[in-house]
Structure 1
Amino acid sequence: MSAQLALARAFLFVPADRPERHARALATGAGGVIVDLEDAVAPERKVAARESLAASFAKLPEIDRQRLLVRINAAGTPCHDDDCAQMGVLVAQGLIAGVVLPKAERAAHLSRIAEATGPKGMLVPLIESAEGLAAVDELAAGPQVLRLAFGNLDFQADLGLACDADEAELVSVRLALLLASRRAGLPAPIDGVTPDWRDASRLAADAARARRGGFGAKLCIHPDQVAQVQAALGPSADEVAWARRVIDAVRAASGGVVSLDGRMVDAPVVRLAERLLALEHP
């Protein structure tokens, strides 16, 4: 598993058929860049877009290619099988880190992609439907799964929801993704998009909700969203300072009982401190 993608806070979408934007997307500093063959590409352009990816990615530095994922077309669509085959080539050549599967609903679909990409290909199932939610534990436990991601807009459309901006109707859905991730031992899941990229206050509220709800990352649809999401989902200076004090106290105790600010420091506190420090520089 890529430690970088496991801890990434912002995943930025970029169209697969706009190769001039691939390097620019990586230059935003997003922890992960998702090159989109699905919604961002018109049906008549999908084949050409897929076939152009190898040439586009080969121009990128190797260290940047480790942050690249490709969102393929969903299982059962005309392009899916060819997408899977091409992703196997790209992974084998070290041009991408893995694949995002939209409308993920069956672990068997993940298994086929894992077989196509080989053991190095990481998978991100995108939960976007009632069937995907029903299978969330099965998907989280699937082969080579890096993290779960939530397709909040498609999920609303699938269920006929008309959510307000706070998406209060989706609290239980987000909790289900968080619990499934925890049960499968996965990193914190990736929250969905904020559709109006010009609304900074809405983005701030959405990112704060994601962090309160245990999500470790968020999908972005515009480069201007990346820095704000990175900051909102990272630890604050006070949290980092506290975490360092915890770790220093544990080391100084050399295995003895640890107390900090009048409170016992037990194993869950240490794990929280370690997680905050890991998130400091994703």
Structure 2
Amino acid sequence: MSALLHNACTFLFVPANRPERLAKALASGADMVIADWEDAVAPDDKPAARLALEQTLQLLSTAERARLLVRINASGTPWFDDDVQALARLVAVGAAGTMVPKAESAAALQQIAAAAGPRCALVPLVESVAGLDAADALARVPQVARLAFGHLDFQVDAGMQCAPDEAELQPVRLSLVLASRRAGLARPVDGVTTDTRDSARIESDTQRALRMGFGAKLCIHPAQVATVNQVFAPSEQAVAHAGAVVQAMQAAHGGVCTVNGKMVDAPILHMARQTLARHAWAEQRRMRAG
């Protein structure tokens, strides 16, 4: 898996049948862009959406192609086989891989990987109770890069009626975080915030994702990207503290020490290094954009 996909904090959807939006999405600051052949495209428009994306990809640079995932239609739908064949052609010319909706079966993921080739990264979207039950198996499929949570479809499948804070989904989110950790994957990708104008809500939802152990969030509008990136990037104070922790532990030769009156030991050092790694990624993004 590429370092880009491993570290990405923002995954922005764009309808694949609107190729003029792809350049805007790639310029939005999003780490990854997901060209959508599934929910965003009506059934009659799906063949044209495949063709449009293949044609548009030819106009992109190598670096832009590496930031592109394609959300195919789910296994068992009438469009799945054609989608997978088109996906293989896109991956062959540099696309990163695919987001797999309604992921419930390791065998289906393996089928996609076999058809699209070893360079195709897989991001299974867990959107059902069956998908949650299979989370460990999905996470352990060799080409899976990260798990993602489709919390809106999950609520429908489970018959849930969540409050605005979605507290009812905390056990589900935690299950995906733990399944990712057990499989040695990068931290999972949390679901969308449907309100594209409420910046406080997108910030709150992203803060929750960060607290729960997610490393990224799905976005449905370019206006959401900057806020999500900002939340996942540590503050200047957090970076300064993390640097102080690392320096103090080095001076103590790995032993227990204190920083600002608080004990520092191995777990605190590990968290500090994670903070510095997130900061380094945010700086890389800033330099790419600048």
Pairwise TM-score range, normalised by the shorter structure: over 0.9
Q: Which amino acid aligns with 2:206?
A: A
Shift of 1:247: 2.5
Per the alignment, residue 8 of structure 2 pairs with 8
1: CA distance, partners of 2:108 / 2:26: 28
Q: Which amino acid aligns with 2:84?
A: C
Per the alignment, residue 203 of structure 2 pairs with 204
Q: Which amino acid aligns with 2:208?
A: R
Q: Which amino acid aligns with 1:171?
A: Q
Per the alignment, residue 119 of structure 1 pairs with 118
Shift of 1:252: 4.1
1: CA distance, partners of 2:245 / 2:58: 44
RMSD: 1.4
How many residues in Structure 1 have an aligned counterpart in Structure 2? 280
Q: Which amino acid aligns with 1:92?
A: A
Within 5 Å, which residues of 2 pair with 1:48-197?
Answer: 48-94=48-94, 96-197=95-196
Shift of 1:57: 1.2
Shift of 1:141: 0.8
1: CA distance, partners of 2:228 / 2:59: 28
Shift of 1:256: 4.9
Deviations 1:161-181 (A, max 9, x none): 111111111110001001101
Q: Which has the larger displacement, 112-121 or 177-186?
A: 112-121
Shift of 1:260: 3.4
Per the alignment, residue 280 of structure 1 pairs with 279
2: CA distance, partners of 1:130 / 1:258: 44
Q: Which has the larger displacement, 193-202 or 259-268?
A: 259-268
Do the aligned partners of 1:249 and 1:258 also contact (CA within 8 Å) in 2? Answer: no
Per the alignment, residue 26 of structure 1 pairs with 26
Secondary structure at the counterpart of residue 77 of structure 2: coil
2: CA distance, partners of 1:4 / 1:275: 16
1: CA distance, partners of 2:15 / 2:147: 21
Secondary structure at the counterpart of residue 48 of structure 2: helix
Per the alignment, residue 37 of structure 1 pairs with 37
Secondary structure at the counterpart of residue 53 of structure 1: helix
Within 5 Å, which residues of 2 pair with 1:229-268?
Answer: 229-253=228-252, 255-257=253-255, 259-261=257-259, 265-268=264-267
Which TM-score applies when normalising by structure 1? 0.95
Shift of 1:242: 1.5
2: CA distance, partners of 1:145 / 1:249: 37
Deviations 1:191-210 (A, max 9, x none): 00111111222212211111
Do the aligned partners of 1:190 and 1:218 also contact (CA within 8 Å) in 2? Answer: yes
Which TM-score applies when normalising by structure 2? 0.92
2: CA distance, partners of 1:41 / 1:132: 23
Q: Which amino acid aligns with 1:55?
A: Q
Name the % identity.
57
Q: Which has the larger displacement, 241-250 or 270-279?
A: 241-250
Structure 1, gaps ≥5 residues long: none
Q: Which has the larger displacement, 271-280 or 66-75?
A: 271-280
2: CA distance, partners of 1:248 / 1:54: 50
Q: Which has the larger displacement, 110-119 or 168-177?
A: 110-119
Secondary structure at the counterpart of residue 145 of structure 2: coil
